[in-house]
Amino acid sequence: MAEEKKYKELKKIISQLEKETEKAKKLLAELADQKSLNDQEQKNYQQELEEVDDLLKNKDLNQIKIGEEVIIEGVFNGQLMIGADGKQYSVPANYASKSKLVEGDILKLKIDKYGNFVFKQIGPVERTRKIGVVTYDDEGELSIIAEGKKYKVIKASLTYFKAEEGDEVVILLPKDMESEWAAIENIIKKETILKINQEK
């Protein structure tokens, strides 16, 4: 059900992009009516509008081929990008960590002719912050407990912040959906916490 919700969210964003593109086309048409275009300029203008129409009519909007590049849009699930085609695409852990990606974020993947993958965040979901504590789960992996709930965290993020058991962290979560994964925004080392408590 969670994946279905993300899929619908992606389709909603694509629909919004279609509406914005239609607005842009109307504005261009109005501008064109207000200026004198020669035959060649008018021909080029009509061709550009036809290309936009073809793109909007493409049923597989989650995957667009431009020249020798392939553009794929999908939803981040905490570890991977799930394309609207249902396929999973590995997101580099360092990128996800540094970008502070959360579940539900819309990503764009560009695959060039050499097979290189380049991800870009294009539709961040609204976020909320919580304060949690780093702890070990039943499998011996570091996780975060916030408000009584356990969240998984990308290992690269824990490594970057040098997180250890007992550290307090500020985490980012999607505001309007349940999430199993959290993104670390900042950290307060347990040594600092102990010092603050001693000074009270």
Domain boundaries, the chain: 2-123, 127-199
CB 150 within 8 Å of CB 144: yes
Q: Which residue has the higher pLDDT, 9 or 100?
A: 100
Q: Encode pLDDT of 72-95 as tens digits.
A: 899 999 999 998 778 899 999 999
For tokens 């996800």, the residue is: 96
Asked if 142 and 135 count as a contact pair (C-beta separation under 8 A), the reply is yes
Structure tokens at 198: 């001693």
pLDDT digit string (tens) for 111-151?
A: 888 888 999 999 999 999 999 999 999 889 999 999 999 99
Query: How crowded is the C-beta side of 41, counted as CA atoms within 13 Å?
Result: 7
HSE-CB of 194 using CA atoms within 13 angstroms: 5
- Cα torsion 110, 112, 118, 120 to 10°: value is -30
Quick one: 127-199 is in which CATH superfamily? Nucleic acid-binding proteins (2.40.50.140)
Q: Average pLDDT for residues 163-172, to the nearest whole number?
A: 95
Contact criterion met (CB below 8 Å) for 183 and 171? yes
pTM over 0.75: no
Closest CA to 74 of 29, 32, 107, 35: 107
Strand partners, 14: none
